[in-house]
Amino acid sequence: MDQSDEQQIVAELRDSVATGHDWYRAMLSAIRVWPSAEEDFDGARCVYLIDGEALDLMRLCERLSVEIGDLVPEEQIVDLLTRDHPPTEVSREELKSLLGPDKYKAYLSYLYGVLVEEMVPLAVLEELRKARRASGLTRADVDIDDAYEYVYGSGKQELAVAFQRERGLPRRHSMTLTELKEFTYWLFKLRLKASDKARVASDTKRALTVLHRYTAARASLSL
C-alpha cells in the first residue's frame, strides 16, 4: 500500500472540513476510499477490517479524528467516539451512499458479526435462566459458560484456546481489544456454520433485543 494515498485522502478531508463541509459526512466519504485494512499508527496497531471483512467504523473514525481534531469541536468528536452519536443524523440510505456498497457491506458484517454477536451469549443466558425458573430450578443457576456451550458447543475458554491456536496467537488468558473483536467475529462465523438457519435467526433476534436495550440504557445515562 502506498502511504501517499492515505496522505492525499487526509489532505482532501482536511480541506473539505476547513471549507465548511459537514465533517462527519466528509469523514465517511474519506472512509469510502480509505485503502488500508490495518496500519501501525501513533505506536499502535490499528485494525479497521476485522478478518479482512468486517469494517470497524468507529476505529477508523477515531483514526481520522486525529487528523481533523484542530478543525472540529472536541465535544462533537467525543460524542461520536464514546456514544456513537454523530453531530448530524445520517439515514441508513445516506450512510450506504457515503460509504459505498463495499464498505457498507463490510460495516454490516461488523455490526452483526461483532456488535450483535457479543450479545448472543447474554441473550441466550437470559433464556436459559427463564427456562430454569419456569421448571422450578432456582437454586442451581446457569452461568455464561453454559450459554457459550449452548450457542457454540464449547465453553468460552476452550473456544478462546481454539481461536488462539488457529490464528497462531500466544496462549494467554487475556486478549487485546482487537483480538477480542477478532475472536467475536470468529465465533460469529462458527455459529453460522454450526447452527441451522432458524436457530441462527432466533439467537440473532434475541441478541438484537439485548443490544437495543443496552444502547438505550447507555444513552439515558449520558443525558
Query: pLDDT tens digits for 68-118?
Result: 999 999 999 999 999 889 999 999 999 999 999 999 999 999 999 999 999
The crossing angle, in degrees rounded to 10, of helices 57-68 and 74-83 is 170
CA pair distance 88, 85, nearest whole angstrom: 8
Residue 131: predicted pLDDT: 85
State mean pLDDT over 198-209: 93
| pTM for the model | 0.90
**Per-chain mean pLDDT for the chain:** 91
pLDDT at 138 over 80: no
CA pair distance 123, 146, nearest whole angstrom: 12
pLDDT at 218 over 90: no
pLDDT at 129 over 70: yes
CB–CB of 28/90 below 8 Å? yes
Residue 156 pLDDT grade (very low, low, confident, very high; cuts 50, 70, 90)? very high
